[in-house]
Structure formats: C-alpha cells, structure tokens
Structure 1
Amino acid sequence: MNWSKLKPLFIVSIAAIMSGCGLFGKGGGESSRTTGWEYNAEETGNIPNISGYEQETGPGLVFVQGGTFSMGRVDQDVMYRNDNFPRRVTVASFYLDETEVSNQDYREFTHWTGRVYPGDVAKLKAITPDSSVWREELAYNEPYVNNYFRHPAYSDYPVVGVTWEQAEAYCEWRTDRVNEQVLVDKGILAHDNSQTGQNIYTTDTYLTGLYEGSAGDKPIELDDGTSRRPKWEDGILLPNYRLPTEAEWEYAAYGLIGNTDGELLTDRKIYPWNGSYLRQDKKKEKGRLKANFVRGRGDMMGMAGALNDNADISAPIFSYEPNDYGLYCMAGNVNEWVSDVYRPMSLQDIEEFNPYRGNVITEYRRDANGELVRNEYGELVKDTIENMDYRNILDGDPNSQIIEDNNWNAHQNNTTEGMYIQDERPGAFSSLISDEVRVYKGGSWQDRPYWMNPGTRRYLEQTKAQRDLGFRCAMTRVGSPEGF
C-alpha cells in the first residue's frame, strides 16, 4: 500500500473531524457541544467559555495534594481528654503557606492599615499583636516586649501574640492585596495609594462594581470590541486566603505523600518526619534537633558552643528541614491557629469528606432599596442567614445532652451553654467550651515533644493570644485534585 498517497487524505479527514468538533471553528474558537454555536464570538452573542483553566499558586503558598488519612491520636493521650480518637477522613487538595506568617508579613498588614486609615487609632490597635504576652512575673522578658514584633532582627521570626480574630483579619486583608496585585499585573488596575474611606479596594467591592479605582484603570476587552471589568467567572482572581481547617492542617503536617506505595501507606508518622527520633541522623547534621522544642526541664537551646536547635525562643520561619510537602516548622517553633471551633466530641460529629466544625453561612446585607450596605471602611456588611450558624450543631440535642432525669423529650432545645456549663459567678465551675473557642496545633519552642505530633490538639478563646501561638494561611483548590 502506498502510504505517501494516503497521507494527505488522512490529514484532510482528521481536519474535517476536528472542524466538526468545533476545534477549528471560525476564528479558531471552540464550539458548544450542546448547540454547535461558537464560544466567545461576536456573531453568536459572545457565549462565555474558558477551557483548560488551571489555578495559579498564590504568593507564599505550596500545593498540598489531598487524599485519605487517619486523623487523630497516634500516641498515648497524656492529657486523658479522650477527645481525639482516630477516624479515617478525606481532605480535598488545597494550598498552604510554606511557612508560618512572619513578623515582616504581619507588619505589612499594620503598615497598610495605618497608611490607609490615618488617625484611626482604634482600627490599628485592633490588629496589632499583643506584645505583653511576653511578660512573666519571674522572668526578664522585657526585651521581647519591646523588640520581638518591631525590631528588624526578628523580621523573619513567626508573628505571635495574635488572636484568632486577628489572624482571620490578616487573611481577609491578604486576599484583597493579592487580588489587587493580580489585576495590576494584568494591566486592569493601577496602584492607587490615595485609597481611603469608602473607596478601598476589596475583592468583594470590586466584583460588585463598588470600587471606583483610579484614573487609567482598564477593563478587559471582549472579542466584539466591547469591554467590561472582570467577573468571578473569568477565573482571574484567586480564592480567599483563610485559616486551614484542623483536618487540612493535620493532613499537611504529616506529609504522607512520601510514605505511599501506590494506594498503600507504608509507614504512619508520629511527627512530620519519619521515625520516632527527634535528632538528625544525616552525617553532616548528625545529632542536631529536627525541630524547635524544649528538650528537658530548663533546657531551651542546649549548651553554649553546641546549641542543639540554635533557638532560645522561636526560630526564623525557614529553619529546620521541611516535610515532604515542602512545609517548614509544622512541628515546634510556634503553635498555629486553625479555623475549627473546639469540641471534645469532634470525632463523633464528623463528616468523612473535608471535616470541619465552624460553618457560619452569610449573605450580603441590603438596604430597603436593595442596595448593598457597606460599613465605614467601605467593606460589604454580611449577615448570618437564619438557622445557618452551625458552630454548635448537635449541641444539647437528645443524643448529646447529659441530663439528670429520664425525660429526654423535655430537653430538645438546649444550647451549647446548656451542654457545657457556663457559670460566671466567682469561684463557680465553668467550662471553657463555647462557640468562640478555637483549636490550635503544632507544638512550640516552649512545649515538650508530645505536642509536636500533628494529631494532638488544644484550644483557646478566639480573643486570647499567647507568646508561642501564630498561624499560617490556606487557600482552596478549585477544579481537579491535581489537574487532568
């Protein structure tokens, strides 16, 4: 058979097939599999379509491929809380900060706030870390009170003294600044250092058309010659930075991607590294500690001339070796806030996919004319939708409420306060558990090794701060878990 004669015919046939599938439509555009109409073409009314979208990795983030793992305790529960029994769950792929948020990172937040809202002392104070957390009655820590957050010597150290609420505020601010820069890089926006009052760029106000921008801002141009500002459906802007869920944080800390053979997990982990040892076994680093923690009573860093972890308090954010996801200091250094509301029975009230306690579903507030409402800072106001605050779901229902009599039906509508005793009288017993108490994880420079196990968990009121408690941000992955 003469293949040289058939080759042109073969090429023409393939071209005809591809043309019929819309791959070689007029102008080279794709066509709808539903109607055959060409996408993004003037003559068909510019039907929008974006194919082959792949999410860009936001600044500072590392991709964490999701999967299944055993969440919860892997060691003896030395606190005897029995609030962390192992259970198998699946976590979707997401992004997580390579390091803890540093003092320099957070100072950008306070600097921007002070510049954009000059004279608003209350707003700046509300986001400033509490340096007094360093004070101790029987320790000379005043140098840290004055220097840890502000001095350049500590710029690359993890920010501490921040509440859960301040960490949330940082995530929102970071989302807006990153998306603003995305639009600047694409030539859609220009930096406007005169932003103030109601005219402040936020991702929400931009997408709803309320941010005016500065002179020279350019909308995107469509194929028909018209133009408009980008929409969320264009895929230009990134999802929100946020605190990771407890499941996401724990999954990422273990870094089990390096411990699999096909779909089999070859080794479980106690720490973010393999084995039960806390010291390096590599020849060059042999004997050095793998993380920043307290080795023994009163031993914060070892002997002079041979400092075992080279850190008396916290260490710079890129210290020690990263885990198999490339994440630094997922054990030791500082504890980290996660998004979840704490409950001792989280292991029972759990979803198999993306478990999380803390959902509060909101919607934008509108005035009598249907217009979106903004606060004094130009931010859109959100209200919780009725009966969609799920932080205390299953609290006080007949299956969870412990009652002193047998009349279960009389206890249908109890609340968190009824289930976990809240008593403000002096000297009275009161549980710390409420809808404003959040989980933190990871262990710190002043913790024993037990707390460096990613499965351990502690909790603190979301308005409180500690000198060994910081955070890192996460971002949702949209689309497939790893790309097709």
Structure 2
Amino acid sequence: MKVLTNTALVLLGGLGVMLSSCSKRQQSQKTGLAYNDRTNGGYLRYQQSHPSPGPGLVPIEGGTFVLGGSADQDVTYEYNNVRRRVTVPSFYMDETEVSNQDWLDYLHWINITFPNDNELYYNALPDTLVWRKPLSYNEPYVDNYLRHPAFQDYPVVGVTWEQAQEYCVWRTDRTNENILRERGNLVTWKDAAGGKNGAAPNNALKEPFNTDIYLNGQIRGQGIDGKKMMTDLNPNAPTTGTGKNGRAVRPVRLEDGILKQGYRLPSEAEWEYAALALAGNTQFENISDGRIYPWDGLGVRSPGKKTRGLILANFKRGGGDNAGVAGGLNDKAIITAPVRSYEPNDFGLYNMAGNVNEWVADTYRQTSFEEVDDLNPFRGNEFTNKRLADPTKGLYAKDKYGRPIKDPARSNKKLKYADMIAQQQAQSAAAANPAAANNGAQNLPATTAAIDPLAGKPYTPDYRDYGDSVNTSLYGTTTLVNNHSKVYKGGSWNDMAYWLNPATRRFADQESTSAEIGFRCAMTMVGAPEIHPEGKPHLPVKKAKNYKAR
C-alpha cells in the first residue's frame, strides 16, 4: 500500500495557509461580508486543505475494524481482549520507535536550557539499570546502551509511561518552535544566536517556547517577533510591531493551519489498528485476508523469493534462543535491533511486532473492550483546564518551565462567565495559599482526586464515574490494577511469538521501567479522513454562490 510522503503532505499543508483571496475573492455565505478585507473588519478565511504530519510521522487512514479480532488464542486466560467492532479516526503515527539518539536530543535540550536544574535532567534520564540482572552479565548494556554511538539507532528503553508523556510535550513544542523560526514568524535560529558576524544574540525569550502559551498571545515583543509575521487585518490591531509598509502584524494562530497538533502516545485502539494495517488487504471495503501479525500469513518467516525463510521480527524463538546459531542468526539481533530493521507493514510502520513493547495511552482494565465507546475507543481521560493568571485578561498561569499550569476540570460543559471567573480566582488563591485551601479537608477520603475550590467538596475529572473509589469493574479488593496501570503492546526481543499479535495486551505501572518496553508517538489528524482521495469516485458538491447586494 502506498502512503502519502511527508513532502507531498507538507506542500498540501503549505497551500492550506494561503488566504483564499489569492485565487478568488470569497465572502461569508451567511452575511455576504467579504473575507480578507481590512476595510470591513478583516474577517479571515483560509483555503481548506489536508494538514501535513509532523516530522517522523506517517498518515494512517482510519476506518472500522474488530478490536481484539486478530487474537487466535488466550494462553494467559485473562479474557481481556473480547472482540468488538470499533471505528478509529485517521491519525498520524511515528514511522519508527523513538530511538536512543532521539532521547539524547531531548536530554541535550534540557542540559542547555536548564543547565542548573539537576532534578529535571535526572528525572528525564532513562533507567539504564533495567539491564542489570542478578544472574546475567549485562553490565555493558547498563553503561553503553543509551549513549554509545553503536546503539544510537536502537529503541530507547528504561523509560516510564510518564517520561514518554513528557517527551511528547517537549517534542510538540520543539517542532512548532522550529516551524515558526524557519518561517520567520519568530526570530530565526541564526538571528537568535547572533547571526554570521557574531553579533549580540537577538533572542528575548525568557522561557522556553510553549505552543499553548504562544497561541494565547503571551510570546511576543522585541527580540521575539520574526521578520515575517502574519499580516493583521484587524482594524483594532495594536500599532506595536509593524511589518513592511507599516502594516500591523500578528503571531500565527491555530486557524492558520501552520502549527502541528500535539504529539502524544497512541491509544490502544489506534496502535492495534495501525499494527494490523489491514488496509493493505482491502479493496472496495472487502478484506481479502485477515492477519494475526502485522504481515500476511500464519508464520513468522518471509515467504518472499529473495528473503525466503528470514525471520520477520525481533523476538525470542524459544527458551535460551534469542538469536539462533552463529553464522546464520535468525533475526540478526540478540537484544534490540535498530528501529528501521525488518520490513515495514502496509502503513509503512517499522517494528510493530517485536523489538520492544510499546507504551500506549490507555489505562488498563480487563473489561476495556466491553465498556469503551465504539468510536475512537479510549480509557484514561482525565480532563483538565488551563489555569488563568489573570482571568480578566485571559492570560495563562505558567510553571517555572514556561508551560501552562493545568488543573483538574470540575465541569463537563462551558461555564457561565461569572462562574468561570470565580473558579479561576479560587484556584489562583488556592495555589497561592495551599494551607488555607486544604483547611477543613482533612477528613476527606484518601481517594479524592481534587477539591472543588468553590464548594470545598471532592470531585474527579473523569466524568464517566470510572474513578476507582466507585468502580465496580475491578474484580476484588486486592489487585494490581488501578488508575496507574497502563497498557503496553507489541512484543519484544525477549518475548515469544504469541505476544507479536497486535491484539495481545499487558499492563505495567506508569512509573515502572523495563529493557523490553519503549514507545512511539502519534498525532491527531484534523479534517477529512481520506488519505488518498485521488482517483476515487466522489459525489459532486456545488460551491456556494456569492451574494450581490442590490
């Protein structure tokens, strides 16, 4: 199956930010007002387009499939992957697992950005002691696996679920900052460093770039704004920061379609759907062959003429057999293998079976497949709101790393303005004086997720009432399953072939680490779900007629 290349998608994404007036003057279908005209208020309209993925991602066209349907046995008798038909929307997914080099990039950025914050750097370090075994000589991996250049293209391991989440946030901000600097919407990297002649650095950013803070208009000013800011057609735009010919300029907005959606861990359903890649066996909605691995057939060896007999993934063939016999190693790896080893599946994804297990975003429950929604199924929502430092101005409160502070959400609907202001003021006061906020709350249950700053009562940001204090699906009072239990999938270099099946699922505490667990990132796709509309039949849609005032 062909996948749309990153270059092609970038071109499409670039077209999407062009003002529609470049081709033909458009107007509102409901009021008749012309778009992109500074004389009538500067209403903006941009040409709709398919967005491009972020770096490292490939598009995955969504659709329906049977969650848990590829499982052919249940050797653990967990009964935790009951078949259920669901729909997964289109999304993007990393072509490969996150590698050691990728993680070293992350560590380097922390080191140069917060050189004196030893705690931040230490917390971001993978646990290299995962290689240490009492009856195995793995100490060379403890010392070398993360940092030695021989392992730079190998998947990073020893990272917790929480560390993977933090990496996704960091990657989002670095990608969007780079886009803005390369485009000239922010001061370019060269100018920020002082330019060719070693001039004084032109970078007034006091804190690291953050996408949410930027989109809220809180990253602006001399030494921050680039030379190619967006033209501001708003007649009330401030006169500070003008572009060519004295025109007002503005930062990039979400509506411009320039910035990327956030990187994140894939959901369990997304991961399983992407691993199976049944789109490669589908024509006119007919699936010719099912799969129990990310490739066709019932075996784990290649049937191809030139590759016949080669192992198709990195896994453990049997007890004490991690690689086969010298002179003819079966999977060419003893521990992990480089992230681009073996053939990709029909979505273009490498190592969706074997090499390392991969964290996904879901919280584990044995009965997840029976209880989740059939559209974009996911378990683990903990809803949050960004705290406002100044509710009347809409400015976000920031932590010491320049990121917005997020509080557990206490409502699943839009509040009235007065209630929103009161809530934000109470949260700000509680943050400034935690002792007073907790006064009288000593007798609240230990399972309390948060305290409502207005009512002083416990609440949970999970509105489906699946909090553990009231959850009846847990099978007893003594269990390792809780809200910190996160799913991992895919099988590893040290697993038998059974775990290569995309439907198999296991869990571990979100703070645990292993030499057999890594991860890859995903990104939500916005807009039309069809990846390849070209050459396919479509019902004709008439364009709206322009209104002529009489």
TM, length-normalised to structure 1: 0.86
**Partner residue of 2:226?**
217
2:511 to 453, 459, 463: 463
Asked whether 1:415 is paired with 2:437, we answer no
**Partner residue of 2:216?**
208
Say how many residue pairs are matched: 438
2: distance between equivalents of 1:26 and 1:300?
60
1: distance between equivalents of 2:517 and 2:89?
26
Alpha carbons 1:253, 1:272 under 8 Å: kept: yes
Residue 182 of structure 1 and its aligned partner are, at CA, apart by: 1.1
2:45 to 20, 43, 49: 49
Residue 210 of structure 1 and its aligned partner are, at CA, apart by: 2.2
Asked whether 1:449 is paired with 2:497, we answer yes
**Partner letter of residue 41 of structure 1?**
D
Matches for 1:334-349 after TM superposition, within 5 Å: 334-349=356-371
Residue 56 of structure 1 and its aligned partner are, at CA, apart by: 1.1
Asked whether 1:298 is paired with 2:323, we answer no
2: distance between equivalents of 1:47 and 1:143?
62
**Partner residue of 1:88?**
85
1:472 to 514, 520, 531: 520
**Partner residue of 2:351?**
329
Alpha carbons 1:197, 1:378 under 8 Å: kept: no
Asked whether 1:61 is paired with 2:57, we answer yes
**Partner residue of 1:285?**
307
Bigger drift between 28-37 and 287-296 goes to 28-37
2:462 to 380, 390, 393: 390
Residue 296 of structure 1 and its aligned partner are, at CA, apart by: 1.2
Q: The residue matched to 2:487 in structure 1 has which SS? A: strand
Matches for 1:329-408 after TM superposition, within 5 Å: 329-367=351-389, 370=392, 371-386=395-410, 387=459, 389-390=461-462, 393-394=465-466
Residue 212 of structure 1 and its aligned partner are, at CA, apart by: 4.2
Residue 337 of structure 1 and its aligned partner are, at CA, apart by: 0.2
- What percentage of aligned pairs have identical amino acids? 47
Q: The residue matched to 1:68 in structure 2 has which SS? A: strand
Bigger drift between 83-92 and 180-189 goes to 180-189
Q: The residue matched to 1:306 in structure 2 has which SS? A: coil
TM, length-normalised to structure 2: 0.76
Residue 185 of structure 1 and its aligned partner are, at CA, apart by: 2.1
**Partner letter of residue 488 of structure 2?**
Y
Residue 365 of structure 1 and its aligned partner are, at CA, apart by: 1.1
Residue 269 of structure 1 and its aligned partner are, at CA, apart by: 0.5
**Partner letter of residue 221 of structure 1?**
T
1: distance between equivalents of 2:288 and 2:493?
30
Q: The residue matched to 1:307 in structure 2 has which SS? A: coil
Residue 254 of structure 1 and its aligned partner are, at CA, apart by: 0.2
Q: The residue matched to 1:62 in structure 2 has which SS? A: strand
**Partner letter of residue 445 of structure 1?**
W
1: distance between equivalents of 2:176 and 2:491?
32
**Partner residue of 2:170?**
173
Residue 215 of structure 1 and its aligned partner are, at CA, apart by: 5.0
Residue 36 of structure 1 and its aligned partner are, at CA, apart by: 2.2
1: distance between equivalents of 2:284 and 2:250?
48
**Partner letter of residue 279 of structure 2?**
I
Q: For structure 1, list consecutive stretches of 5 or more residues without a partner in the other structure.
A: 1-22, 397-413, 423-429
Bigger drift between 239-248 and 200-209 goes to 200-209
2:68 to 48, 52, 72: 72
**Partner letter of residue 35 of structure 1?**
T
Residue 389 of structure 1 and its aligned partner are, at CA, apart by: 2.7
Asked whether 1:127 is paired with 2:152, we answer no
Residue 235 of structure 1 and its aligned partner are, at CA, apart by: 1.3
Q: Considering only aligned residues, what root-mean-square deviation do their CA atoms show, in Å? A: 2.3
**Partner residue of 1:482?**
530
2: distance between equivalents of 1:107 and 1:393?
40
Alpha carbons 1:441, 1:454 under 8 Å: kept: yes
**Partner residue of 2:146?**
149
Q: The residue matched to 1:144 in structure 2 has which SS? A: helix
Q: The residue matched to 1:104 in structure 2 has which SS? A: helix
Offset from partner CA, 1:109-152 (integer Å, 9 cap, x none)? 11001110002110001111000000000000000000000111
Q: For structure 2, list consecutive stretches of 5 or more residues without a partner in the other structure.
A: 1-18, 194-200, 235-246, 411-458, 534-550
Bigger drift between 439-448 and 33-42 goes to 33-42
CA pair 196-437 structure 1, distance change in 2 beyond 3 A: farther
Alpha carbons 2:21, 2:35 under 8 Å: kept: no
2:110 to 102, 110, 113: 113
